[in-house]
Structures are given as C-alpha cells and as structure tokens.
Structure 1
Amino acid sequence: MIDFNTHVLERFAEQGPVLQPRMGFSDPARMQAGLEGVAASRANTVCTITLDAFTRVNNLAAAQRAIDSGSMLNGYPIVNHPGEDTRAMLEQIYARHRLPVQIRHGSPDPLHIFERMVEIGLPTTEGGPISYCLPYSRTPLREAFGHWEKACRVLADGVEHSHIESFAGCMMGQMCDPAILVALNILEGLFLRSHGIRTLSFSYAQGTSPVQDRAAVAALQQLASEYFAPGSYHFVGYVFMGFFPRSLGGFCRITSDALAMIRATGVQRVIMKTPVESRRIPRIEENIAALEYADFCLNTEGELPDIPFDAQEHARVLGAARKLIEGTLARDSDLSEAILDAFAGGFLSIPYCLHPDNRRNAGTVVTAQNYYQGFDGERVENAFSFLAALRHNIQTYDRVA
C-alpha cells in the first residue's frame, strides 16, 4: 500500500492542499462507489472509509445483525465484511487511481480494527488514546492508553508505512483555547511515535476566528518541528466540527474562511464538510461537489480572503502550549504516566468534556475579537453555555449577506 504521509506531502508540493471527505457506507457496493467517485473527481483528493458506530465500540454482533437484515449503518463495518473483499476494493482504487485510503473510526480500543487493517494491508488511520477516549467514551483513560499501546504495536509491526493522524485538534468540536489543542497534538504524537508508528499527522479544527486559527496553526507547526523529524509528519485542517451552518451561503462562508486559513498556513490536507451537514449524512455526489468546490477556491485567485497574522496571539498560544507540553513531560519519565498524571491533577483539562477522568477545572469564553480564550478556576459550565458556544458559528455564518 501507499505511504500516506509521503503521498500527501508530494501531492501538496505539486497541486496544493489534498482534500478528503468523511465518508463511510455499510454496503460494500456503495462504499466502492464512494471511493471511486472521490478518486475520479476533479479535486486533489485522498480517500476515506469511515467506520460504523457498532465497530467503534467492538459490538460486532450488532454490526452483523444489521448486515444480515439489510439495515443501513452509519459507516463501513470493516471487521464484519470479509477481509479479502475490502482488500480487493482498495486494490482497485490503487490500480485505477494510485490513491491511498484512510480508516476513520473513533474507537478508544481499536485493536480489532487495527488487526483487520493489518490483514488487509491498510496502514493509515486516525485517533489516539486521548482524542478517541475523552470526547467519545467512558472508558477509563488509563485503559485507553493500554488499548492504544497494544493496537499501535500491532499496526506498526504489521504494515510497512504505519500512519496515524492525531485527532487532538478537534476535541469537543473545538470550543477550546487553541493552546490545549496544540499541546495535545504534540503529546499524543509523541505517544504514537513511542509505540512504533512511523509517520504522523497533526489536526486542527476551525474555530470562531480565522485570524486566531492562523496564529494557532503556526504555533502547532513550530512545536511539531521541535519534537519530530522533518518529513515524518504533515498537518490536517478541519472545516468546523461543531453545529454547522444550515444555509448554502453559510456553508460557502465558513468553508471560505477555513480554506483561507489553510492556504495561509500551508496545511497539507483538508477534511471537508458539505452543505447538508446540519440535516443528514451527505450523499456521494454531495461529497464530491464539496471537494470540487474547495479545490476551485484553493486554486482560483481572488476566491479566498486574506487572513492577517496576529503575532501577539501566536506568541500567547505558543507559550501556553509549550508550558502544557513541558509541564506534562516533566511529571514522569514514562510518557503515558506523565499524561495520565497531568489529567488526574487537572494540569491538562478539556472544557465541556464530561469524561470522568477529565477534571474540568478550566473553561473557555469567546472574546470580543471572536477568539476562544481559556481560563482557570472553578466555574460551572452548563448546557446553556455549551449550546451557545456550539451555535456561535451558525449565527455568524448563516447571517444575511
């Protein structure tokens, strides 16, 4: 299979940012059609297989019942479908289009997924013991670290070009001070590398201000260069992960801001959304249209706004993230124990995250500059403030032009 990291870096150098949908279907024929559609589009793309919710939580019996009854799942049940069928599907995409495929899942215990990936020969996925545990599960964080240690070793030993994208830049649909997202990317990346994963990618989800996003991504890029070897990683930008604008104009405006930040920072890969995100799962053709729209915007002069660089905010995010990284690493010579201790003591804390191992002694507000700004200290974060933060971008981008 293709070296995913090398492919993205080379395609970025030749054609600009590589575009990717969040696509997964339970029916193999439809999944094949989705991969073919993305690969054959006019955009600069890589392919995705997003797994279903039953597979994510290792409820393979429920996934099989859905397959047997013809019920539609919200993703591809990779463990239940025969490995040789999935392998044939991927080999066809490679033979026709020379494109890699990434597995996206959301599991705090991905061993069963990684074992099937090794069987198929698929080296590329996403997640980590922090980013796929705290937002999505009630699995104890220590258990998630143990699960991911085993799974990473299986993947690293079983395929030639193992690659994992840390999902840490998308915690809670953002709604965090970017400093914590930057710090968690680096810490999770260090964990993945220490357990054999060959190359990495670091994520960042669009927030409420493209100016702050540019400053934060620049801080992430600087810190990554200090901890990881050149050429061993790339960066991924996400179009907003929270409540999404409902109108076509809102989609265009929020996507334009995300792509402008991505172009300004030199982010190599983009995870796209579609105009129907707020209502339903997008169809294949809607995913392809969004990819081609983004490709047009990125490669057409004058289509995207210029994003100024806020040097003061860059310095703030860089300094705060560095403090979190260094303060965590100093806690224990064992990286996993250091991170676990940092969460147990509240040194690392995720606003709004209800996981029992997250102390929630830090919060976030949106400033007059439209920046996410973290704060320390006791404060109750309730459903009202959570929903208000989620709706902020709907109100901003669905406005009448």
Structure 2
Amino acid sequence: MIDFNTHVLERFNAHGPVLQPRMGFSDPARMQAGLEATAASRANTVCTITLDAFTRVNNLEAAQRAIDSESMLNGYPIVNHPPAQTRALIDQIDARYRLPVQVRHGSPDPLHIFERMVEIGLPTTEGGPISYCLPYSRTPLREAFGHWEKACQVLSSGVDNSHIESFAGCMMGQMCDPVVLVALNILEGLFLRAHGIKTLSFSYAQGTSPVQDRAAVTALQQLAADYFEPGSYHFVGYVFMGFFPRSLGGFCRITGDALAMIRATGVQRVIIKTPVESRRIPRVEENIAALEYCDYCLNTDGVLPQIPFDSQEHERVLRSAKRLIEGALAHDSNLSEALLGAFDSGLLSIPYCLHPDNKRGAGTVLTPENYYHGFQGERVENAFSFLAALRQNIRTYDCVL
C-alpha cells in the first residue's frame, strides 16, 4: 500500500495542500462510487472511508442487522463487510489513480477496526487514546489507553507504513484555548510513536480567529520539530468543526479564512466541509464540488485574504503549550501513566468536556480580538456559555447581528 505520509508530503511539494472529504457509505457500491469520484476530481486529493457509528462502538451485531435489512448506516461497516470486498475497493483506487485511502472512525477501542485494516492491508487511520475518548465516549481514560496500546501494536506490526493522525487538535476546538490543542497533539503523537506507529500527522481545527489560528499552528509546527524526526509527520487543518454557517456566503467566508491560514502556515493536508453541513450529510457530488472549490481558492491569486502574524500570541501559545507538555511528561517515566496523571491532577483539562476523567478545572474566555484564551478556576461553564461559544462563528460568518 502507498505510504500515506510520503504521498502527502510529495503531493504538497508538487501541487500545494492535499484536500480530503469526510465520506462513508454502508453500501460497498456507493462507497466505491464515492472513492472514484474523489480520485477523479480536478482537486489535489486523497480518499476517505469513514466508518459507521455501530462499528465505532463495536456493536457489530447491529451493523450486520442493518446490512441484512439493507438499511442505510452513517458510514462504512468495515468489520462486517468481507475483507476481500473492501480490499477490491482499495486496489481499484490504487491501480487507477495511485491514491491512498484513510480510514476515519472515532472509536475509543479500535482493536477490531485495526485488525480488519491489517487483514485488508490498509495502513492509515486517525485518532488516539485521548482524542477518541474525550469527549466522544464514556470509556474510562485508563481503559482507552490500554485499548490503544494493543491496537497500535497490531497495526504497526501488521502493515508497512503505519500512519495515524492525532485528532487532538479538534477536541472542542472551537471553544478551547489552542494551547491545549497544541500540547495534546504532541503528547498523543509521542504515545502513538512509542507504540510503533511509523509516521504521524498533527491536526488543528479552525477556531474563531484566523490570526490566532496562524499563531497556534506555527507553534505546533515548531514543537513537532523539537520532538519528532523530519519527514516523519505532516500537518492537517480542518475547516470549522462546530456549528457551521447556514448560508452559502457564510460557507465561502469561513472556508476562505481556513484556507488562507493553511496557505500561510504551509499545512500539507486539509479536511474540507460543504455548504450543506448545517442541514444534512452531503452527497458525493456536493463533496466533489467543495473539493474543487477549495482547490481553486488555494491555487488562484487574489481569492484568499492575507492573514497577519501575531508574534505575541504565537509566543504565548508556544511557551504555554511547552509548559503543559513538559509538566505532563514529568508525572511518570511511563508515557501512558504520565498522561493519565496529568489529567488526574488537572494539569490537562478540556473546557466543556463532560467525561468523568476530565477535571474541568479550566475555562475559556473570548477576547476582544476574537481569540480563545484559557484560565484556571472553578467550573464556570454553563449551557448559556456553551451555546454562545458554539454559535460564535455562525454570528461572524453569516453576518448575524
């Protein structure tokens, strides 16, 4: 199978940022059509197979009932479909287009998924014991670390060119000081590397200010260079993960700001959204249109805005994230125990995250510059502040007064 990290780095050097949709269908024929459409588009792309919710929580019986009754799932049930059938999908994309496929899932216990990936020969996925436990599940954090240790060992020993994208930069990203997102990327990346994963990617989700985003991503890039070997990783930016603008103009404005930050920082891969995100799951043709629109924006002069560089905010994020990383690692010589201890002590804390193992000893405030800054204190979050934070970008990009 294609080395995902090498492919992205080479395609970025030749053609600019690589674009990727979220895409998953329960029916293999529809999944094949989605992969084919992505690969054949005029954009610089890689392909995605997003898994269904039953597979994510290891409810394979429910997934099989849906398949047997021809009910639609919200993704591809990779464990239930015969491995030869899925391998045929991947081989066709490889043979015709020489493009890699990433499996996206969302599971705090991905062993069953990784075992099937090894059987098929798929080396590329995403997640981690922190980012796919908090805030997506109620699985105890210690259990999630155990699950991911086993799963990473299975994947790394079972395929060549194993690659995992840490999802840590997307955890409550629109309501979280980027200091936390940057630190968690590095810490989760260290865990994945320690358990045999060959190459990594580090994520960052668009926040409420492209200026703050540029400062934060630059800090993430500097810290990654301190902890990881050159050429062993790349960066992926996400168009906004929260409540999405409802208007076409809002989609264009928020996407433009995300792409402008990505171009300014040299991020190599982009997860895109479509104009229908606020209403429903996009169809294949809507994903392809969004891919080609984003490719046009990135490769046409004068379309995207210029994003200023805030050196003061960059230094704040860099200094504070490094302090969190070093403080977490100091808890224990065993990496998993160190990270568990950092959450148990409250050193690592995710605002608004209701998981029992998250102490919630930190909050965030939106500054006059539209930056999210964290603070230590009592549990100040409530439903009003949560909804206000979620709706901030709708107000900004849909021009709601």
Moved over 6 A (4+): none
Distance in structure 1 (CA, Å) of the matches to 2:71 and 2:40: 28
Aligned to 1:368: 368
Distance in structure 1 (CA, Å) of the matches to 2:76 and 2:288: 19
Aligned to 1:13: 13
Q: Which amino acid aligns with 2:67?
A: I
Aligned to 2:2: 2
Q: Which amino acid aligns with 2:308?
A: P
Aligned to 1:107: 107
2:361 corresponds to 1:358: no
Distance in structure 1 (CA, Å) of the matches to 2:379 and 2:369: 22
User: How far did 1:365 drift?
Assistant: 1.2
Q: Figure out how many residues of one structure are paired with residues of the other and give that number.
A: 401
Q: Which amino acid aligns with 1:183?
A: A
2:295 corresponds to 1:295: yes
2:149 corresponds to 1:165: no
Distance in structure 2 (CA, Å) of the matches to 1:272 and 1:383: 29
Distance in structure 2 (CA, Å) of the matches to 1:103 and 1:174: 24
Identity of aligned residues (%): 85
Aligned to 1:311: 311
Aligned to 2:215: 215
The equivalences for 1:338-353 within 5 A come to 338-353=338-353
CA 323–400 in structure 1, closer or farther in 2 if over 3 Å, else same: closer
Aligned to 1:192: 192
Once the two structures are superposed, what CA deviation does each residue of 1:293-325 show, in whole Å capped at 9, x if it has no partner? 000000000000000000000000000000000
User: How far did 1:174 drift?
Assistant: 3.2
Once the two structures are superposed, what CA deviation does each residue of 1:226-260 show, in whole Å capped at 9, x if it has no partner? 00000000000000000000000000000000000
Once the two structures are superposed, what CA deviation does each residue of 1:161-220 show, in whole Å capped at 9, x if it has no partner? 100000000002431000000000000000000000000000000000000000000000
Aligned to 1:66: 66
Distance in structure 2 (CA, Å) of the matches to 1:383 and 1:56: 28
Instruction: Please report the TM-score for the alignment, with normalisation by the length of structure 2.
Output: 0.99
Distance in structure 1 (CA, Å) of the matches to 2:36 and 2:365: 43
The answer to which of 391-400 and 29-38 deviates more is 391-400
Distance in structure 2 (CA, Å) of the matches to 1:147 and 1:23: 25
Aligned to 2:77: 77
Instruction: Please report the TM-score for the alignment, with normalisation by the length of structure 1.
Output: 0.99
Q: Which amino acid aligns with 1:231?
A: G
Instruction: Return 5+ residue gaps in structure 2 as ranges.
Output: none
Q: Which amino acid aligns with 1:146?
A: G
Confirm or deny: 8 A CA contact 2:198 2:232 kept in the other structure: yes
Distance in structure 2 (CA, Å) of the matches to 1:14 and 1:394: 35
SS at the partner of 2:73?
Answer: coil
Instruction: Return 5+ residue gaps in structure 1 as ranges.
Output: none
Distance in structure 1 (CA, Å) of the matches to 2:83 and 2:117: 9
The equivalences for 1:119-268 within 5 A come to 119-268=119-268
Report the aligned-residue RMSD: 0.8
Distance in structure 1 (CA, Å) of the matches to 2:348 and 2:189: 16
User: How far did 1:380 drift?
Assistant: 2.4
Q: Which amino acid aligns with 1:22?
A: R
Q: Which amino acid aligns with 2:22?
A: R
User: How far did 1:135 drift?
Assistant: 1.0
Aligned to 1:39: 39
Aligned to 2:22: 22
Q: Which amino acid aligns with 2:97?
A: H
Distance in structure 1 (CA, Å) of the matches to 2:379 and 2:333: 33
Distance in structure 1 (CA, Å) of the matches to 2:186 and 2:360: 21
SS at the partner of 2:172?
Answer: helix
Distance in structure 2 (CA, Å) of the matches to 1:173 and 1:195: 26
CA 173–278 in structure 1, closer or farther in 2 if over 3 Å, else same: farther
2:321 corresponds to 1:327: no
Distance in structure 1 (CA, Å) of the matches to 2:189 and 2:22: 22
User: How far did 1:400 drift?
Assistant: 7.1
